Structure 1
């Protein structure tokens, strides 16, 4: 009779673990999809800012790369963004120009969004590799997340406020 109670307790523990695992897999996949959408939004903002800078500087190559990045299909997106990054690294940006400041800020946000996306994709792929998850096909409705590999842009620093003057040292009288 006690063995029945033991089996019921083990079944309850296993089902609780299974529910927790399924919820974790679903949550990490939802976060990875959300990070992918955020990265896409930042990439669009960067390409639009690059197009504005290209128009102001009469840079045909930069404008073409920005338009290609804006109009790229999902499977062509990485190469279009890498082309845009290469074009951005070849131009000289004036940090006092508001359009250039917007471009620099959006490029920094792209770097941060890509790092977050990469971390969440890694977590989702790690969750998918677990044996129980694979056997029960828990991430079934979610597509397999993919890394988004682009070259990180190197942008000039934004001019900040002037540093505070140093306080004068007190003079000791002898």
Structure 2
């Protein structure tokens, strides 16, 4: 009978280790899926902002802003960060009136983009952190997915004429 307790103990330990490994593998998968979803949302917000900037440029601000918006819309993934940073710099050079619907669309898109960028950065950080754990690397739990990448752009939040103090 004393040998029976060793068997029961070993089964319990194996069950606990298996449960922990399964939980860890599911966590890696969930974080990876959330980071990929955040990347898609970030991409959608980047496109919305560039489209709103192109409309605004056509209506009011001319060639340079329009060119930056078109480049951002048409950029290949390798050039996307630089194109988005150029668009942000162009948007900062124009005075945006929050009462103007075209300007408000760009301002709102930039605010949503800033939030999407922060969510994406947080999820990428979390996914990369869990992928660096020794157990995850040992069992190659992240092998099915490419490691998520940060999208490094300037803060897209814009100041408006209403934000600037007068006098």
Give the alignment's TM-score, normalised by structure 2: 0.92
How far apart are 1:94 and its partner, in Å? 2.0
Name the SS for the 1:41 alignment partner: helix
Name the SS for the 2:117 alignment partner: helix
- The two structures, once aligned, show a CA RMSD in angstroms of 1.3
How far apart are 1:6 and its partner, in Å? 1.2
Residue deviations 1:109-146, cap 9 Å, x none? 00000000000000000100110000101011111101
How far apart are 1:7 and its partner, in Å? 1.1
CA separation in 1, counterparts of 2:124 and 2:147? 9
How far apart are 1:158 and its partner, in Å? 8.7
Question: Is 1:131 matched with 2:134?
Answer: yes
Question: Is 1:91 matched with 2:94?
Answer: yes
| Equivalent in the alignment of 1:118 | 121
Unaligned runs of 5+ in 1: 160-174
Indicate if the aligned counterparts of 2:45 and 2:112 stay in contact, CA closer than 8 A: yes
**Which of residues 45, 66, 71 is equivalent to 2:69?**
66
User: Higher helix share goes to which structure?
Assistant: 2
Question: Is 1:148 matched with 2:154?
Answer: no
Give the count of matched residue pairs. 159
Give the stretch that moved more between structures: 115-124 or 87-96. Answer: 87-96
Unaligned runs of 5+ in 2: 163-167
How far apart are 1:153 and its partner, in Å? 2.6
Q: Over alpha carbons, which structure has the higher Rg?
A: 1
Indicate if the aligned counterparts of 1:89 and 1:154 stay in contact, CA closer than 8 A: no
